[in-house]
Chains A and B, each alone.
Chain A
Amino acid sequence: MIKIIAGRLFQLIPVLWIILTLTFFMTKIVPGGPFSAERQATPEVIAQLNAYYGLDKPVWQQYLRYLSKVVMFDFGPSYTYQSESVNEVIGRAFPISLQIGTLAFCIALVIGVTAGVIAAANKNKLLDYLPMSISMLGICLPTFVLGPILALVFGLVLKLAPVSGWYGLNYVPLHPAVMPAVTLGLFYAAYIARLTRGGMLDILNQDFIRTARAKGVPEHEIIFRHASRGGLLPVVAFLGPCFAGLISGSFVVEKVFNVPGLGQEFIKSVFNRDYPLILGTVVFFGALIVIFNLVSDVVQLLLDPRSRN
């Protein structure tokens, strides 16, 4: 097991290198530069700025220079946040996304697994359709619809949560992470619920469960002890990218609730052609993806011993 984990962590290096290289060259081909604006600066100014940031050199030189810095964990200055480095931007924005994402993940997991298990245990009965239909709403009301609705109801009408901002307004009872987390969590809960139900049903139909039933093992024990392990396999495979996606922030939700998380930094960096910030966030996100996919693979292995060979 430890060998597997160590091996996978070692793979992180080539994976991140490929991600970095591909992204670097893609950003160089994408039209529009970091210094273009509705009101054009003179060509001389643009040339000065390019020289200042080393963008006037041949691309391969820029690449090598950049790579040599990244090896020292220096992702360079941000063009959008003049006077902040990419490391500083990630350093201030990630903790916020981490908080929202963790809470959202817990919400999604609790609601999703509960709904899925209840539905599977009551296949084709009211207690199947009801939780499934409710969990479906998370998908039918995408985040850009659900977010404003929650902001209106809990922020403006009930005055329980802030409608905007992260540091402000602690006279409202709810932490500013709660509404964004609920918005995100409900969306992922729908996925988890459906995957749980499907996975559980696959297992509940198998012979060893029938045997257990025939032996008179109580139903709750069958579901929680015997079926849950195999039944959650598809969910676990999904949780890796799900968690990585959640904690790297969501552009839409961060915009709706105006929280300064990493999701909007990433999207805005692309729109601003802030090359160092694009690369920094992409590499950071890539590392999260690989690590959490590793975690989810490890959990899969533990859930299903036969996969280990």
Chain B
Amino acid sequence: MSSAMKTVIGVIAVLFAGVLVWMFARGTATDRSSYSLTLREANRNKILLLTVGSEPRTLDPQAAQGVTEHHIIMAMIEGLVAPSINDQAKVVPGMADRWEHNDDYSVWMFHIGEDRKWSNGDSITAHDFVFSYKRMLTASFGAQYAENLYILKGAEEYYNGKTGNFDDVGVKAIDDHNLRIELVGPTPYLLSLVQHDSWLPINPKTILKFGNIDTRDTKWTHAGNYVANGPFIMKTWRPNDVIEVVRNPLYWDAANVKLNGINFYSIENSNTGGRAFQAGQLHKTDQVSLDKVPYYRRMHPELIRIDPYEGVYFYRINISRKVLDNPKVRLALNLAIDRDAIVKNILREDQKPATGFTPPGMGDYTPLNKITYDPERARQLLAEAGYPKGKGFPKFTIHFNTLESHRAIAEAIQQMWKEELGIDVTLENQEWKVYLDTQNSINYDISRSAWIGDFLDPVTFLSMWTAGNGNNNTHWANSKYDALIEQAARTGDPKTRLDILHRAEELFLSELPVVLVYWYTNTYLLQPSVQNWYPLVLGNHNYKYIDLKDEFERAK
């Protein structure tokens, strides 16, 4: 062998050996030890281990837009009010220790507790909230959820630059501890709304330390910089692996916080999450793979939890397409689907067949029961529309984004329409962003969709169907519907208001620019050692109530 050859091979071998030695040396280094907890140790140390699915994009509440982000932010930032232990319709004091409103719920006063502090020691004042809402409404900041604050008087005008003076906006600090919120109309559901990320406060000093009021993506969200006011503060953030939060000693109600810390693992793959749960690495998963639900329900009912959840799964119909513009056809498509069979055989998570659009659990609003499985009537309607037994019915396509359950549901619906109505549809899956593009540009026939409620009021489901709403995406528009939604927004009496919304939804269901499928449930695995984890329709758990039982100790 030539010497050059030997040298080259030698160098390569040394490089490899170097990498291997380095990795295994690192493997035993101490910096890993704090993450290694068995379930038993975690119970004893009161550290909750859970997965929230994918990696959060940011932990800045005002730039956040997803459920994942929300579930982590909840541990660190507390709003004016906080979720109660077991009922999503009730709230407990958060930063505000008391509040009142006028008769028609359009002006609210929040009194910020005197003992409320940021984790950097600053007192929390009403001015912090004003600053936070100003940041949300600063157009150049580009908060995706800025629209949520448009119910503040003058907010939309400020956002669009019609007024440059934030004093014109309906949020004022009367003094350090009194916050006055004036809304464009009666808003009986405000307390539910202000728990949403977009209404949470941030520490103005910290924000301004890392940038201006409208600087995005600054490092203030990193461990060490994050200033919180909730029960926990951030200890570490290792992207795509774990976020560790620990008890916040300056939290106003720290005495009642039960846990010492929470580890949020980001595990996207539900099978991996399931294995981590089985291996004793997690107290809670964020979902259960479709095929394992029956297994757990039959073999380990104590480990699986199925909670009602505020969401509806449906197909949007592009009503500008010929044939699909006929309400009879759309009703026929709805009536030909055996939702019970889909829920019972494919999903198996106790989802409820959607008989209306707004799911149950929306406060005092009773869900509508209009759409059922009635193949006879579906066939009759299709015949009336001019397509007896599906003859001459054009071939439409169902678009969906690639996911096992979407495909299974689409295949089942495809088959039901074929059998019951004699019509053929093709299926087309698309990559997520392409699918969104198709849907938002209304360039589809029928498109899979879902909607998850933000707060406990039917408006969160019904307002999207007004003409020109960015989330309508069906070309459906009805001036009567818009007028009803508008009227509801001006009505102060809660009961009358819900009646008006009922009328609006009835109207919507008579026109049906959608195919209803099911109302969501939230299914996850949960160790029995986790205490006080009650089913909550919005999934907003106030982590300060959660506790862990040391089973080992109890056994002694």
Contacts and interface: CB of A to CB of B under 8 A. Distances in A.
A155 B440 contact: no
B249 to A, nearest CB: 25
A40 B239 contact: no
B310 interface: no
Contact of B24 (A33, A175, A272): A175
B275 A83 contact: no
A83 B471 CA distance: 28
B268 interface: yes
A36 B437 CA distance: 8
B35 A169 contact: yes
Interface string A103-116: 10110000000000
Interface stretch (A58-66, A203-211, A298-306): A298-306
A105 B20 CA distance: 11
A296 B301 CA distance: 56
Contacts of A80: 57
A102 interface: yes
Interface in A133-149: 148
B268 A169 contact: no
Interface in B2-27: 2, 4-5, 8-9, 12, 16, 19-20, 22-24, 27
A82 B63 contact: yes
Contacts of B27: 170, 175-177
B16 A102 contact: yes
A11 interface: no
A156 B275 contact: yes
A73 interface: no
Interface in B418-463: 431-434, 436-438, 440, 449-450
Contact of B241 (A51, A260, A298): A260
Nearest to A298: B8
A32 interface: yes
Contacts of A255: 268-269, 272
A98 interface: yes
Size class of the contact patch on chain A: 35 or more
A299 B449 CA distance: 55
Contacts of B218: 83
B376 interface: no
Given A83-B218, A99-B19, A163-B281, A152 B268 contact: no
Contacts of A256: 269, 271-272
B272 A258 contact: yes
A44 B159 contact: yes
Q: Interface size bucket, B side?
A: 35 or more
A148 B278 CA distance: 14
Interface string B272-314: 1101101101000000000000000000000000000000000
B440 A171 contact: no
B437 A77 contact: no
B16 A38 contact: no
A1 B23 contact: no
A122 interface: no
B275 A48 contact: no
Interface of A: 1, 31-33, 35-45, 48-49, 51-52, 77, 80-84, 89, 92-93, 98-99, 102-103, 105-106, 148, 151-152, 155-156, 159, 162-171, 175-177, 229, 255-258, 260, 264-265, 271-273, 295, 298-299, 302-303, 305
7 pairs of A and B residues whose beta carbons are closest in the complex:
A32-B433, A260-B240, A99-B23, A48-B142, A82-B58, A164-B276, A41-B144
22 contacts: A32-B433, A38-B450, A41-B144, A49-B144, A51-B140, A52-B140, A52-B142, A81-B239, A82-B60, A102-B16, A105-B16, A148-B271, A165-B242, A167-B241, A169-B36, A170-B27, A170-B33, A171-B38, A175-B24, A257-B272, A258-B269, A302-B8
